[in-house]
Amino acid sequence: MIFPQSEHNKQAQPQIENYLSTLRSHLRGVSEPYAQEFLAELRSHIYDKISDGETSPASVDEVLTALGSPKELAREFSASVVLDAANESKSSLRMLLLLFRWASLSVAGLFVFLGAIAGYFVGGVLLLCAAMKPLHPHAVGLWAFHDATGDLNLSFRLGSADPPAGAHELLGWWIVPLGVLAALVLILSTSRLAQWCVRKFRASTLAGTLGGLQTKMGRFS
């Protein structure tokens, strides 16, 4: 978009372009088309605000300050882009990669990412257990045993060591179908829960980012 080079615009242009340049430098991981579209929309909003007003450095700086720091604005927009992609993801692996990016942008993303890691990890262990049982039938499974004090303990083994002496296997070969079923349910539930969190936080972000900007800049109407 090309803006009329009025006296207002000419005076304000260096400050505005410096702000947008700094903002662009912080939009790491955002594709060029998304970044350029966002910058064009933001530039339009800024010029709209100053076109009929005073364009002293102080007044332009006040408009830019109302938007927030370029770094924080870039973080909000980057999170919005990541959440949009995660909301549409159909792959658990891609979801996990997107959650990792979100974790680098917000505390909420970090907690969701750690929860997803835990869910996928346990699901993976259950699948591994089901796969290893035919290879090491006497060392893979769930055992119950009494320790030296007589307390009942459970021991889950993946073939790295034999079960404790006197231990009784609880599931036997049933651990194969049950392990596969539990793993699939857990992985699917983890993905669904992660997407629910994504939708929840996506609704509370900038909602397209520019809606939040309009609210901020409305102070100068």
pLDDT digits (tens, 9 = 90+) for 154-166: 888 887 777 877 7
Q: What angle do CA 119, 194, 113 make, to 5 degrees?
A: 65
Do 20 and 42 form a contact (C-beta atoms < 8 A)? yes
Enter the pTM of the model.
0.68
pLDDT winner (highest mean) among 19-23, 146-150, 153-157, 183-187: 183-187
Domain ranges of the chain: 91-206
130 vs 183: CA distance, rounded Å: 9
Type and span of the H or E element at 155: strand 152-158
62 vs 148: CA distance, rounded Å: 73
Q: What is the DSSP letter of 54?
A: -
Q: What angle do CA 192, 193, 197 make, to 5 degrees?
A: 115
Residue 157 Cα distances to 38, 120, 137, 144, angstroms: 52, 19, 11, 11
Q: For residue 204, what pLDDT is reported?
A: 65
User: DSSP string covering 136-148, please?
Assistant: STTTEEEEEEE-T
Q: Characterize the bridge pairing of strands 140-146 and 168-169.
A: antiparallel
Q: In what order do the strands lie in the sheet with 168-169?
A: 152-158, 140-146, 168-169
Mean pLDDT of 197-215: 63
Do 73 and 217 form a contact (C-beta atoms < 8 A)? no
Alpha-helical segments (H) within the chain: 7-25, 32-50, 57-67, 70-88, 92-103, 107-132, 175-204, 210-217
Mean pLDDT of 59-71: 81
Reported as a single tens digit per residue, the pLDDT across 95-117 is 888 889 888 888 888 999 999 99
